[in-house]
């Protein structure tokens, strides 16, 4: 199977990548079948050979996740929502709902506590007035 992946080159800690087509069993920096583009993550510079990429994709080459993102940004393939993304977003939505529910419960508890404190203050005030009126 042919994979579209990134091949690292450049200095230490100053990596740049070439977008290459290679056999899926070959090493990351091994000899590629064809070089199809360039990506520099530090400057976000991307150069793609669109004709060659379309040809390889037409032959059934499978891009890695990072290469897929670069191709989506370049407009060569449509942005697709992957199953892992939908599952992650669903989990995040459930978590947000739970947090909102807990926050609402906490707010209700604080309001109930404040109301109880106000009632207690009113009752204490009434007792003091009663005590003052009976002393007079």
Q: Which of 23, 43, 74 is the last residue of a domain?
A: 74
Q: Do residues 6 and 67 both lie within one domain?
A: yes
pLDDT tens column, 60-91: 989 988 889 888 888 888 887 777 677 778 88
Per-residue pLDDT, averaged over 113-129, amounts to 88
Per-residue pLDDT, averaged over 44-56, amounts to 89
- Tell me if residue 48 falls in helix, strand or coil: strand
CA 39 to CA 64: how far, in whole Å? 14
Considering its fold, how many domains does the chain have in total? 2
| Stated pTM of the model | 0.57
**What is the pLDDT of the chain when averaged over all its residues?**
86
Q: Which of 74, 92, 112 is the last residue of a domain?
A: 74
Q: How confident is the model at residue 136 (pLDDT cuts 50, 70, 90)?
A: low
Q: How confident is the model at residue 99 (pLDDT cuts 50, 70, 90)?
A: very high
């Amino acid at each position: 199977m042919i994979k579209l992946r990134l091949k690292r080159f450049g200095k230490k800690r100053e990596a740049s990548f070439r977008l290459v087509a290679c056999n899926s069993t070959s090493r990351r920096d091994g000899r590629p079948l064809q070089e199809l583009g360039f990506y520099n993550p530090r400057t976000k510079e991307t150069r793609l050979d669109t004709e060659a990429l379309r040809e390889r994709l037409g032959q059934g080459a499978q891009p890695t996740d990072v290469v897929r993102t670069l191709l989506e940004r370049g407009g060569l393939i449509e942005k697709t929502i992957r199953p892992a993304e939908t599952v992650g977003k669903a989990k995040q939505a459930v978590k947000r709902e739970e947090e909102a529910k807990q926050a609402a419960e906490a707010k209700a508890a604080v309001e109930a506590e404040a109301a109880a404190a106000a009632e207690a203050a009113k009752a204490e005030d009434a007792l003091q007035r009663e005590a003052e009126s009976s002393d007079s």
